[in-house]
């Protein structure tokens, strides 16, 4: 695949206040990417800069190797060949669904418009709703119409700003999977911004975590989950606890949970004595009644196939553990903790 979009050291500010410090990433043709991060981290600013709504203070944005935005020039949004799906759908209430979809097809003949409308309505599995109005559709159907409208002009890049945030959790998961299927079928590259980690994992080929005005890490969902580059990435892509410790060897460390040895090394030769932080997810911790490291069960949540325990160590540090099946440890009970992560996630102190 060829590189379609490249963002290089992008800097943007609002009223003199820096929002993006140095954002860099790229996506390939047909690739679905996500920008993940908390509210206010600058995700939407990146999207608006790519769309051409914001002028960068520094850095550049390229499409197919050609500059479309830098500090000296900005190609107008309507000349970028991009589609956009907004958080609030932005459908015209006085127009039918078919008219909403055809609205952006300027310069097309009536026959071409009708053909495009029919094609995208079939694509989003709403073939018989063209004559209805937005208020007659459910939230999920309106979101599909917004996608259909964005796809009708056949954009080379689709931009999506928190497109599922107004929907309930189950519908979000369903539409994320359907959106991925539709974009892959059309071979349209896309960038979606979201604060929902599971949503990003469901839809994206590659994603980046945005924090402190920079992309902390850019890679596949698997890379970010199993090999996070920074503590911020680890904390954002999966619930867990960060424990301070000291390296004893390349595969052994000491922390509040005792001396731990791992099957895979986490450090290089000579790391002995260095300070570090160990990131543990609930699935990394096993409970029993036998062991030296004790914790109090604060509460438990039965989740069907598993139970999530909220625990407090003697130091006051709180963490979580997950066990399969029904819960066996009541609130207030003292239990023993055993660490058994598949791969240790360790960050050495700087």
- Residue 224 vs residues 33, 207, 219, 255, 285: alpha-carbon distances, Å: 13, 8, 6, 24, 20
Mean pLDDT value across the chain:
92
Q: What is the pLDDT of residues 131-176, one digit of tens each?
A: 999 999 998 899 899 999 999 999 999 999 988 887 888 888 888 8
Is residue 200 located within the same domain as residue 288?
no
Is residue 168 located within the same domain as residue 309?
no
Is residue 133 located within the same domain as residue 168?
yes
Is residue 9 located within the same domain as residue 38?
yes
Three-class SS of residue 134? Answer: helix
Q: What angle do CA 87, 110, 150 make, to 5 degrees?
A: 15
Is residue 253 located within the same domain as residue 219?
no
pLDDT at residue 238 in the model: 84
C-beta of residue 264 within 8 angstroms of C-beta of residue 300? no
Is residue 178 located within the same domain as residue 150?
yes
Whole domain around residue 103: which residue ranges?
Answer: 3-235
Joined together, the tokens standing for residue 145 give 């119409």
Query: How many domains does the structure of the chain reveal?
Result: 2
**pTM greater than the 0.85 cutoff:** yes
The CATH number given to whatever domain includes residue 275 is 2.40.50.140
Is residue 226 located within the same domain as residue 270?
no
Question: Of the candidates 235, 260, 289, which is a domain's last residue?
Answer: 235
Give φ, ψ of 2 to 5 degrees.
-90, 155
CA dihedral (115, 117, 123, 127) positive or negative: negative
Judge whether residue 299 has pLDDT over 90. yes
Measured distance CA(206)–CA(221) in Å, rounded: 6
Measured distance CA(252)–CA(274) in Å, rounded: 12
Question: Of the candidates 201, 235, 269, which is a domain's last residue?
Answer: 235
Reported confidence tier of residue 340, pLDDT bands at 50, 70, 90: confident
Length of the chain: 350
Judge whether residue 216 has pLDDT over 90. yes
C-beta of residue 7 within 8 angstroms of C-beta of residue 26? yes
Is residue 161 located within the same domain as residue 20?
yes
The CATH number given to whatever domain includes residue 230 is 3.40.50.300
Is residue 59 located within the same domain as residue 202?
yes
With CA atoms as reference, report the closest residue to 68 among 86, 50, 45, 90: 50
Question: Of the candidates 196, 213, 235, which is a domain's last residue?
Answer: 235
Three-class SS of residue 217? Answer: strand
């Amino acid at each position: 695949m060829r590189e379609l979009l490249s963002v290089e050291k992008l800097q943007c500010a609002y009223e003199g206040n820096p929002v993006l410090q140095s954002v860099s990433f790229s996506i390939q043709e047909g690739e679905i990417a996500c920008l993940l991060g908390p509210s206010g981290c600058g995700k939407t600013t990146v999207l608006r800069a790519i769309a051409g709504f914001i002028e960068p203070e520094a850095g550049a944005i390229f499409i197919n190797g050609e500059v479309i935005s830098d500090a000296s020039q900005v190609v107008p949004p309507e000349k970028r060949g991009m589609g956009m799906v907004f958080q609030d759908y932005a459908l015209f209430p006085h127009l039918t669904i078919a008219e909403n979809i055809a609205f952006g097809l300027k310069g097309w003949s009536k026959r071409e418009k009708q053909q495009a409308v029919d094609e995208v309505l079939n694509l989003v599995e709403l073939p018989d709703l063209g004559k209805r109005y937005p208020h007659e559709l459910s939230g999920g159907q309106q979101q599909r119409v917004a996608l259909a409208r964005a796809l009708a002009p056949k954009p080379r890049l689709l931009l999506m700003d928190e497109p599922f945030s107004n929907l309930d959790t189950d519908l979000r998961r369903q539409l994320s999977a359907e959106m991925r299927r539709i974009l892959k079928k059309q071979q349209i590259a896309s960038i979606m911004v979201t604060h929902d980690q599971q949503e990003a994992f469901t839809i994206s080929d590659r994603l980046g975590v945005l924090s402190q005005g920079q992309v902390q890490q850019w890679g596949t969902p698997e890379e970010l989950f199993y090999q996070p580059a920074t503590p911020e990435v680890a904390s954002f892509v999966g619930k867990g606890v960060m424990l301070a410790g000291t390296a004893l060897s390349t595969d052994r460390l000491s922390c509040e949970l005792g001396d731990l040895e791992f099957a895979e090394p986490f450090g290089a030769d000579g790391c002995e004595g260095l300070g570090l932080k160990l990131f543990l997810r609930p699935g990394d911790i096993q409970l029993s009644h036998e062991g030296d490291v004790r914790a109090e069960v604060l509460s438990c949540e039965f989740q069907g196939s598993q139970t999530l325990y909220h625990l407090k160590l003697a130091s006051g540090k709180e963490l979580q553990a997950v066990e399969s099946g029904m819960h066996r440890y009541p609130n207030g009970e003292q239990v023993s903790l055993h660490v058994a992560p598949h791969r240790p996630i360790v960050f050495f102190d700087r």
